[in-house]
């Protein structure tokens, strides 16, 4: 029946009022929006739709993740794990080397390959494809599944670390997504100079602590690394690190004796290891290494057992702040390189906003004129519902803190055109019922009831397409799919519930004998 229970009437009115209130901040000046966001509780109106790169201007970076570096590290770790096992099993070999995707062991004459295969299976049974090769060698290569797993994990970790680093700089609403197999897209709305971000993202930030050998000429188990301040000067350090940056829980800029330093705090395991190492090596230097460069090499004066320490190295306030930021965000699992860089000026973004507004207003005006011409009073009701539909869309986008882009505006414009489809179906069905001889109330009731299945089917097919676009698309396609999905849901509510409520009020008030349709 056309009648609506009181709770449903209250619900429809409440949703319409709230949609206006929650979409209103988007039309207010910047000062008013800031006051609402800082002064009002988070659940009250105050949030706004975030403008994307193409509307606000900003920087676009396309990064490539060097996944091969992670695979090489995995291969090196296989070599390090297999060497003592071969020695323990007394298997003679003339060579052991890391391959780009695995390990190769060259056996001496008379040695059984099966014993080596057993050791490799013990080192890594699930991810290695082990086989005998020419010249009495055994190879263990990472399988395709293992390589795919390493790639996915590396990209996911890289995206998370990039997000942390960008968030630490205070950049608002960055868009960070995967593109293809090993690339990451970083969009930074409102950022005109991306150089600092590029510098931050270009550093792997792998922090390690190494003891320095007492004999500078010692070669076994050591490596030579350049000093950060003077790369021509090198220092020998033990290859095995005593601690890594993973053990840091916090890092901040600090000042000590008039110098800018970076203070850090360790977790429980790191604190115990650092305490034991410094206690056993008083009077010896140890090196603090960042991305294979020695940034500091202080001498251990006392045991450091409080779980905190200082990194000094001639830092400026900015370089110390950036280093602290990198250490807090964590190390990248693989190096990043910038493949593409674009900067969108705010004037271009303003032009895009103006064009989008113009398109939306023209579409809205034409739809309103069409509905008024075709359906008169009922067209007025449909037009009012359409306006509420627009406020519902912006209210939903504001609450979700969604980022609006040009494709998103296209989705809204398309929704405006589609929103009256349901009303057209209902109104035409009512006309048919009147022509069939039904009186006013039964005709309206039948129009809403019998058009419902067609309306649901039509919108459901569009919703499925929008979900598929969101699932398989990226970037602008996702933005279009989001606004289209929200628009479908809100247009169903506005077209069916809001217009039905207005028609119901009109019928109760006027009790017409004819329909202005």
Three-state DSSP at 62 gives strand
CB atoms within 10 A of CB 14: 10
pLDDT tens per residue across span 217-243: 666 778 889 988 888 888 888 888 888
Higher-confidence residue of 115 and 46: namely: 115
Higher-confidence residue of 313 and 35: namely: 35
Q: What domain range includes position 86?
A: 68-146
Q: Token pair for residue 125? A: 């049974």
DSSP run (H or E) holding 340: strand 336-344
Q: Token pair for residue 302? A: 């006392």
- In angstroms, rounded to a whole number, what is the distance separating the alpha carbons of residues 349 and 36? 25
Asked if pLDDT for residue 162 goes beyond 60, the answer is: yes
365 and 475 within one domain: yes
The whole-number pLDDT of residue 388 equals 92
Percent of the chain with pLDDT over 70: 96
Three-state DSSP at 259 gives strand
17 and 72 within one domain: no
Q: Considering 271, 296, 314, which residue would you say is the last residue of a domain?
A: 314
Asked if pLDDT for residue 324 goes beyond 80, the answer is: yes
- From its phi and psi, is residue 90 left (phi > 0), alpha (psi between -120 and 50) or beta? left
Helices (H) and strands (E) in the chain, counts: 15, 19
Asked if pLDDT for residue 314 goes beyond 80, the answer is: no
489 and 378 within one domain: yes
Higher-confidence residue of 20 and 46: namely: 20
CA-to-CA dists, residue 484 to 144, 418, 457, 468, angstroms: 38, 10, 16, 12
36 and 96 within one domain: no
Residue 173 counted as domain residue: no
For range 134-151, the mean pLDDT: 89
Q: Considering 314, 329, 357, which residue would you say is the last residue of a domain?
A: 314
485 and 397 within one domain: yes
Higher-confidence residue of 412 and 57: namely: 412
444 and 298 within one domain: no
Any idea what the CATH number is for the domain that residue 257 is in? 3.30.1360.200
pLDDT tens per residue across span 42-76: 778 878 887 777 777 778 889 999 999 889 888 88
- CB-CB contact of 415 with 488 (8 Å): yes
504 and 402 within one domain: yes
For range 163-171, the mean pLDDT: 78
pLDDT tens per residue across span 259-294: 888 888 888 888 888 898 888 888 888 888 888 888
How high does pLDDT run on average in the chain? Answer: 84
Residue 192 counted as domain residue: no
Residue 429 counted as domain residue: yes
400 and 358 within one domain: yes
Asked if pLDDT for residue 192 goes beyond 70, the answer is: no
- In angstroms, rounded to a whole number, what is the distance separating the alpha carbons of residues 5 and 72? 68
DSSP run (H or E) holding 78: helix 67-88
For range 409-418, the mean pLDDT: 81
96 and 34 within one domain: no
475 and 381 within one domain: yes
Residue 168 counted as domain residue: no
302 and 355 within one domain: no
Angle at which helix 346-399 crosses helix 421-435, to 10 degrees, equals: 60
pTM above 0.85, yes or no: no
Q: Token pair for residue 30? A: 């910047």
- Give the count of domains, the chain: 3
Residue 154 counted as domain residue: no
Any idea what the CATH number is for the domain that residue 118 is in? 3.30.1240
In 359-494 the beta strands, taken as DSSP E runs, fall at 403-404
pLDDT tens per residue across span 347-397: 656 777 777 778 878 888 888 888 888 888 888 998 899 889 989 999 998
Residue 16 counted as domain residue: yes
Any idea what the CATH number is for the domain that residue 418 is in? 1.20.1640.10
Asked if pLDDT for residue 160 goes beyond 90, the answer is: no
C-alpha dihedral (438, 444, 445, 449), degrees to nearest 10: 110
Residue 51 counted as domain residue: yes
Q: Which of 110-114, 119-123, 181-185 has the highest mean pLDDT?
A: 181-185
Nearest to 492, CA basis, from 421, 430, 417: 421
Higher-confidence residue of 104 and 419: namely: 104
The whole-number pLDDT of residue 218 equals 65
CA-to-CA dists, residue 32 to 19, 42, 121, 398, angstroms: 18, 15, 66, 15
Asked if pLDDT for residue 1 goes beyond 60, the answer is: no
The whole-number pLDDT of residue 65 equals 92
Q: Considering 314, 330, 359, which residue would you say is the last residue of a domain?
A: 314
354 and 217 within one domain: no
Residue 459 counted as domain residue: yes
- In angstroms, rounded to a whole number, what is the distance separating the alpha carbons of residues 15 and 17? 6
The whole-number pLDDT of residue 125 equals 65
pLDDT tens per residue across span 472-506: 876 678 878 888 899 889 988 888 889 889 988 88
The whole-number pLDDT of residue 376 equals 85
């Amino acid at each position: 029946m056309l009648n609506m229970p009181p709770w449903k009437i209250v619900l429809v009115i409440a949703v319409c009022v709230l949609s206006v209130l929650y979409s209103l901040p988007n039309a207010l000046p910047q000062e008013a929006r800031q006051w609402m966001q800082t002064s009002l509780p988070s659940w009250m109106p105050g949030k706004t739709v975030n403008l994307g790169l193409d509307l606000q201007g900003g920087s676009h970076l396309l990064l490539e993740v060097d996944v091969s570096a992670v695979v090489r590290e995995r291969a090196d770790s296989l070599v390090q794990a297999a060497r003592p096992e071969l020695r323990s099993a007394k298997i003679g070999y003339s060579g052991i080397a890391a391959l780009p995707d695995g390990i190769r062991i060259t056996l001496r004459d008379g040695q059984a390959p099966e014993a080596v295969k057993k050791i490799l299976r013990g080192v890594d049974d699930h991810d290695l494809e082990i086989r005998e090769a020419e010249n009495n060698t055994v190879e263990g290569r990472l399988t395709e599944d293992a390589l795919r797993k390493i790639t996915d994990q590396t990209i996911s970790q890289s995206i998370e670390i990039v997000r942390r680093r960008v968030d630490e700089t205070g950049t608002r609403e960055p868009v960070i997504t995967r593109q293809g197999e090993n690339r990451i897209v970083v969009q930074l709305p409102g950022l005109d100079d991306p150089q600092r971000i590029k510098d931050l993202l270009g550093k792997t930030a792998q922090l390690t602590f190494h003891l320095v050998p007492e004999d500078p000429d010692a070669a076994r188990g050591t490596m030579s690394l350049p000093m950060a301040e003077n790369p021509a000067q090198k220092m020998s350090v033990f290859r095995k690190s005593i601690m890594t940056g993973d053990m840091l829980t916090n890092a901040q800029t600090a000042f000590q004796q008039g110098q800018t330093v970076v203070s850090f705090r360790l977790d429980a395991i790191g604190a115990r290891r650092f305490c034991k190492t410094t206690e056993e090596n008083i009077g010896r230097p140890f090196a603090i290494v960042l991305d294979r460069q020695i940034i500091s090499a202080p001498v251990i004066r006392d045991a450091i057992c409080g779980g905190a320490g200082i990194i000094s190295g001639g830092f400026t306030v900015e370089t110390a702040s950036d280093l602290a930021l990198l250490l807090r965000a964590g190390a990248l699992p693989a190096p990043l390189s910038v493949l593409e860089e674009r900067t969108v000026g705010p004037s271009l973004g303003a032009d895009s906003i103006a064009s989008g507004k113009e398109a939306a207003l023209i579409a809205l005006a034409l739809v309103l004129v069409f509905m008024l011409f075709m359906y008169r009073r009922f067209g007025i009701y449909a037009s009012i519902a359409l306006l509420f539909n627009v406020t519902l869309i912006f209210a939903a986008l504001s609450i979700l803190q969604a980022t609006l882009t040009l494709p998103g505006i296209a989705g809204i414009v398309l929704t405006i055109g589609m929103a009256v489809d349901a009303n057209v179906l209902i109104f035409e069905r009512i006309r048919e019922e009147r022509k069939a001889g039904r009186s006013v109330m039964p005709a309206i009731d039948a129009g809403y009831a019998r058009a419902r299945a067609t309306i649901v089917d039509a919108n459901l097919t569009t919703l499925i397409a929008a979900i598929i676009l969101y699932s398989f698309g990226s970037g602008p396609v996702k933005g279009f799919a989001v606004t289209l999905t929200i628009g479908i849901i809100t247009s169903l509510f506005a077209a069916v519930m809001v217009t039905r409520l207005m028609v119901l009020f009109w019928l109760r008030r006027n009790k017409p004998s004819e329909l202005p349709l």
